[in-house]
Amino acid sequence: MNQAIFFPPEWYPQSAIQLTWPHLSTDWEYMIEDVTACYVEIAVEVLKRQKLIVVCKSSEKVKFELKQYKDLFDNLILVELPTNDTWARDHSGISVIRNDKKCIYDFTFNGWGLKFASNYDNQITRGLFFKDIFKADVELDNRKDFVLEGGALESDGKGTLLTTSECLLSPNRNSYLSKEGIEDYLKETFGLDRVLWLDHGYMAGDDTDSHIDTLARFCDEHTIAYVKCDDQLDEHHDALTRMEEQLKTFVDYKGNPYKLIPLPMAKAVFDEDNTRLPATYANFLIVNKAVLLPFYNNKEKDEEAKEQLQKAFPDREIIGIDCSPLIRQHGSLHCVTMQYPENFI
């Protein structure tokens, strides 16, 4: 591992979480009340524990929507910037510590391979920098030749990156580079010893080309939680079984097999056009002293996922949040959030 660069894992102490708030000019317009209620629930759980940056169209509107929680406003940072959408995991900066200095990389966000407009979202990190939100250096330009989303990256903090070949090798991201070229770039940029490529697994309805945070997640440097599908009639069964078998071949940075914790496959959820939505319990968010876990209005599966995740985080409170509104736009809890390490904000 390049000792000069440290890519903090999500469980590293945090200073803040970022949300990008929904408004009527986003794809949430038709269900703005439902999704705003979900955002409020996420915001409150974060505000109880650490700072919350809210990128928004109207600060006054967000304060009105959070008016019942004024006692938490000391932790609230509101920043008005134009936005296309609200998927902060993918349009936010990515934090590293380089040569003992705090640094935020600002990669290009191109709407998950040119699927959706991203002209405003691609400038959010720049906007936060110019509004003096960060206590860190921000690389505004020299990372813009590389397309990368936070949802594609899982760091163990020990020089290992877990990702998917489906996403990082997609033709509309960095097609000018080979797999080896992309791996070399990631190693150099994040101070890595190795990249673990998952070649199998997907979620129906996922627009991200199989972001790792929909499938498998580091819980500590020795443990991976992943989605397991036991139903042989489910369309995901074969791909997720192959993913599980590949995970069993991976070893941690000390050379030992990972402790693997299976999360249940969420009960199938469909939209009004009968398209399956990407409900996944792997899309949890680690915050200080807690883990926020997406629930999908199925008590049996939700509780099973909570019990399994508690095994991975015995010292953290597991808090379920109804994310049924979020998956109607094909994402979930981790997708709408981004963490910043301690002293970055």
- Dump pLDDT digits (tens) for 145-190: 899 999 999 999 999 999 999 999 998 899 999 999 999 999 999 9
* Mean pLDDT over each residue of the chain, to the nearest integer: 95
pTM above 0.75?
Answer: yes
Please state the rounded mean pLDDT for residues 330-341. Answer: 97
> By percentage, how much of the chain surpasses pLDDT 70?
99
Identify whether the C-beta of residue 236 lies closer than 8 Å to the C-beta of residue 203: yes
Domain ranges of the chain: 5-341
> Residue 8 has which token pair?
């903090």
Going from the C-alpha of 262 to that of each of 224, 276, 332, the distances in angstroms are 9, 22, 19
Q: How does DSSP assign 234-295, residue by residue?
A: STTHHHHHHHHHHHHH-B-TTSPBPEEEEEEPPPP-B-TTS-B----TT--EEETTEEEEEE
DSSP secondary structure letter of residue 165: H
**Distance between CA atoms of residues 24 and 31, nearest Å:** 9
Write out pLDDT tens, residues 53-84: 999 999 999 999 999 999 999 999 999 999 99
5-341 sits in which CATH class? alpha beta
Identify whether the C-beta of residue 200 lies closer than 8 Å to the C-beta of residue 239: yes
The widest CA-to-CA distance across the chain, in whole angstroms, is 52
Q: φ and ψ at 320, to 5 degrees?
A: -80, 135
**Distance between CA atoms of residues 310 and 169, nearest Å:** 33
DSSP secondary structure letter of residue 10: T
End-to-end CA distance of the chain: 26
Write out pLDDT tens, residues 106-128: 999 987 777 877 899 999 999 99
Residue type, 19: L
Q: How many CB atoms lie within 10 A of CB 249?
A: 9
Per-residue confidence (pLDDT) for residue 307, from 0 to 100:
98
Q: How many CB atoms lie within 10 A of CB 147?
A: 22
The region of weakest confidence among 5-14, 90-99, 103-112 is: 103-112
Write out pLDDT tens, residues 239-292: 999 999 999 999 999 999 999 999 999 999 998 889 999 999 999 999 999 999
Per-residue confidence (pLDDT) for residue 143, from 0 to 100:
85
